Amino acid sequence: MKIFQKNIIYKIFFVLLSGCLIPFSFSPFNYYFLSIISLSLLFYLWTKSKSPRESFTLGYIFGFSMFGIGVNWLHISINLFGGINIYFAILITYLLIAFLSLYPAICGYISTKYFKNNLFLSLPALWFISEWARGIVLTGFPWLNIGTSQTDSILINFAPIIGDYGVTFIVCIIASCIVKIIAGGKINFLIGIVPIFLVFSLSILFSQINWTKSKNQDLNITIIQGAIPQEIKWQQNQDKKSYKIYSDLTKPFWKSDLIIWPETAISSIYDLSNEYIKKIEMEKEKSDAIFVTGIIRQNKTNKESYNSMLLIDNKHYIYDKYHLVPFGEYLPFKEILYNFIRFFKIPISNFSKSKSRLSNIDTEKANFGMSICYEDAFGSEIRRSMPHADILINVSNDAWFGDSFAPHQHLQIARMRAVENGRYFLRSTNTGISAVINNKGEIIANSPQFEKYTINENVTLYSGVTPFSKYGNKFLIILCSLILLFGYIFDQWKYKKIIK
C-alpha cells in the first residue's frame, strides 16, 4: 500500500474506480458488498492524504463518478419529456452531479483538516452527517444513500431501529474497521475485527425481533399499471383513452377491498362533476372497494394546482403532495431564475405544495399512509404517517426516467421505507415498477416495466411502531455530533502534544 503514499495518479485511479462501483451496489444490480469495498478504499485513501486539499479532490472525484453513473438518468426526463435540447439537458444534469459531489469532497476535507489523528470513528460520523445534510439542503436529494444499497443484506435489520441513514453509518463503521485491519498490527486487527463481529451478531439478533405486529386483518388489493407512454400522456384527448385503459384493466377486480391507480392516472383536473369521477362512483355503487388514484386538483379560490391523491370510500378524501420536485413540479428561487427559464423556454410545472403535512387517510377498513412519487425517498416524510397508518401507499410515475436505473432504484427506496416502519408498502406506477412489499422489505409481487399489468394480492395490516418510526434520526445525529466534538478535542490535544 506504499504506492498510495507516493503517487497521486494511483490515488485518483483507485478513488475513481471506487466511486464507479457504488451504483452497482444498488438495484438493479444489488451487489451490496460493493458499498463496503468502495468506502473502505476511499477511507484508506483519505488516511494517506497529504493535505485537506488532496482529500477534497479525492472526495470530489469519488462523488462525481458515483453520481455520474448512478443518477445520470436525470437527463432523460429533462430532454425527452421536458422538451429541452439534449446538450442542455446533459449540462443541467452534470451541474447537479457537480453539486452533489461536494458532499463527499467536503467530508474528506474536514476529516483531514480537523480529525487527522482520529479518523476511525470520525469518518463514519462525518459521512453520516454529510449524507443526512444531502437529504435536507435545497429540499434534499436522498438518492443513492449508502444504507439503501443494503436492502438485501443482513445489515437491513438495523433499519427498523436507526433507519436508512443509520444503516449508512453501520456500513461506514465496517469500512473504517477494514481500514484499521489493513493498517496491520495485532492491536489494529483487534480494533477492526471486534466491531465487525459485533455488528453482524447484532444484525442476526435484530432479525429475530418483530417490531410491529399483525392486526390479523387482511385486505385484498389490486394495483393497476396502465403503461401510458409519457410522450403521449398529456396530449389532447389522451385523457379519455387513458381512462378507458385503466377502466378496462380494473373491471375484473371491483370485488377487491382496495384498488389503486398511479400518479395522475386521471390527467384532468379533479372536480366533483368530473365525468371520470362520476363513472368511478357508478362502478363503486356495485362494489365495496376503496378506490385510490392520482389526480390534479385546483383550488377554485386562488387557482393553485396540486399533485394529489383522491381516495373514494363513502366520501371523497384528498391528499395533496407536500414534498415537490424542484425544477420538475415547481421553480425554486423563482425571482432569480424566472427570466432565465423564460428565455430558454424551459417547461416547468407550477404545482403548489400542500398546506398540511398530514398524510394519513382514515377509513373504516384501514388507516392509509399516503405519499406521491419522490416523497417516499424521504424517510422523515413517510414516518410522519406513524403510528396510525396500518399500511403505506405510494403512487408514482417513473415513466419520466425511461428504461434507466431510476425505476429500480426507486423500488429499492420503497423497500427501505417498508422496513423502517414495519408496514406493507403498496406501490402503483404508470409504467412500472409497481409492487407489493411486505413489512420486511421483501417484494411479494411486482410488475414488468412498460406493460399493462395488474397485481392482485392479499396484504396484512400492521400496528405498533418501530424505534425509527418513533424517534427518527435524532439519536444518531446526537451521537455523531458528540463523536465529532470529542474527536476534534482529541485531535487538537494530540497535535499540541506532538508540537511540544
Q: What are the helix (H) ranges across 251-364?
A: 275-284, 334-344
Q: Mean per-residue pLDDT for 362-391? A: 95
Task: Write the class of the CATH domain 214-463.
Answer: alpha beta
Alpha-carbon distance of 176 to 196, in angstroms, equals: 10
Sign of CA dihedral 122, 124, 130, 135: negative
pLDDT at 456 over 90: yes
Distance from C-alpha of 379 to C-alpha of 199, rounded to nearest angstrom: 23
Judged against a pLDDT cut of 50, whether residue 442 lies above it is answered with yes
pLDDT value at 4 more than 60: no
Average pLDDT (8-17) is 93
pLDDT attached to residue 339: 54
- pLDDT of amino acid 268: 82
CA distances from 484 to 112, 121, 122 (A): 13, 8, 6
Going from N- to C-terminal start, the domains of the chain cover 3-209+472-499, 214-463
Res. 445 pLDDT band, cuts 50 70 90: very high
Q: How confident is the model at residue 498 (pLDDT cuts 50, 70, 90)?
A: low
Average pLDDT over residues 162-174: 98
Nearest in space to 262 (alpha carbons), one of 426, 29, 488, 54: 426
Which of 98-102, 332-336, 357-361 has the weakest average pLDDT? 332-336
How far apart are the two ends of the chain, measured CA to CA in Å?
31
Q: Average pLDDT of the chain?
A: 91
Q: Are 295 and 316 in contact (CB under 8 A)?
A: no
Average pLDDT over residues 236-265: 94
Checking if the pLDDT of 341 tops 80, the result is: no
Q: In sequence order, which ranges of 207-289 are alpha helices (DSSP H)?
A: 230-233, 238-250, 275-284
Question: Which residues participate in catalysis according to the annotation?
Answer: 263, 321, 373
**CA-based torsion, 160, 163, 164, 168: positive or negative:** negative
Residues 126-135, mean pLDDT to the nearest whole number: 97
- Residue 36's pLDDT is what? 98
Question: Which range scores top for mean pLDDT: 84-88, 138-142, 364-368?
Answer: 364-368
pLDDT in the model for residue 249: 97
Predicted confidence (pLDDT) at residue 346 exceeds the cutoff of 70: no
Name the least confident of 224-233, 340-349, 391-400, 431-440. Answer: 340-349
308 near 270, Cβ under 8 Å? Answer: yes
Which residues are within 8 A (CB) of 498 and not within 5 positions of it... i.e. 6 or more apart? none
**How do residues 283-310 score in pLDDT, each as one tens digit?**
988 899 999 999 999 887 777 888 899 9
Q: What is the mean pLDDT of residues 461-483?
A: 96
421 vs 500, higher pLDDT: 421
pLDDT at residue 229 in the model: 87
Residues linked to residue 372 through DSSP beta bridges, in sequence order: 395
Residue 344: pLDDT band by 50, 70, 90 thresholds? Answer: very low
Higher local confidence (pLDDT), 497 or 69: 69
Find the mean pLDDT for residues 251-265: 96
Give me the mean pLDDT over the 249-258 stretch.
97
On the question of pLDDT at 173 being above 90, the answer is: yes
pLDDT exceeds 80 at position 330 = no
As a residue count, the chain comes to: 500
Cell numbers placing 443: 417484494
CA torsion angle 315 282 369 29 (round to 10): -170
When pLDDT is averaged across residues 255-262 and rounded to a whole number, the result is 97
The rounded distance, in Å, linking the Cα atoms of 110 and 105 is 9
For 25-45, the pLDDT digits (tens) are 999 999 999 999 999 999 999
3-state secondary structure of 203: helix
Q: Lowest mean pLDDT of 102-116, 201-215, 220-234, 336-350, name the range.
A: 336-350
Mean pLDDT of 14-29: 97
Q: Specify whether the CB–CB gap between 392 and 360 falls below 8 A.
A: no
